[in-house]
Amino acid sequence: PADHARVRDIFINWNRHITQPGMEDLFESYIQLALDEEINRIPEYYGRPGFGFWVAEIDGTVAGMVGLERLDSGEAEVRRMYVAAEFRRKGLGRTLLAFVEDRARDLGYTRIVLSTSALQPQAKALYEVSGYDLEREEASTVQTKRTVGSGLTRYYFAKPLV
């Protein structure tokens, strides 16, 4: 709860940073939807069995975050992995990914999945070098708390945990 404002800021700032010209309204509606359905409800959303949400601090400042969402008894999804702008390109994303994979194993998951968009090539590269297999790519046409929509390409990855 004490970190909530910083978590919100990291999420909002990153999504505004990757907003493409002419897509401002679309991204703002996505941000609001994700805030309403998930980010503003982290304790209830991620406090359920098989879920989790963690922040990484550097010198007392929230530098990044990552969530884990149960999909079924054997599979979980990495959610909301973001690193604040001033802490990017220092290995924190790799650390957060390894951490959430370990938590997923601790919870008994045997497979972990995640997705990213074509607007985040650094994330895509991280997943590829971290042993994730690209399972599919598709145009995201519907806006949800997970996707902006509008035809943006999304990449869906998976990795066995055993």
Tell me the pLDDT tens digit for each residue of 111-120.
999 999 999 9
Question: Which CATH fold topology does 4-160 show?
Answer: Aminopeptidase (3.40.630)
The residue extents of the domains of the chain are 4-160
Instruction: State how far the Cα of 80 lies from the Cα of 3, in Å rounded to an integer.
Output: 15
pLDDT band at 146 (very low <50, low <70, confident <90, very high): confident
How many percent of the chain have pLDDT more than 90? Answer: 90
For residues 116 and 124, the answer to whether their CB atoms sit within 8 Å is yes
Instruction: State how far the Cα of 10 lies from the Cα of 77, in Å rounded to an integer.
Output: 20
Return the pLDDT at 121: 95
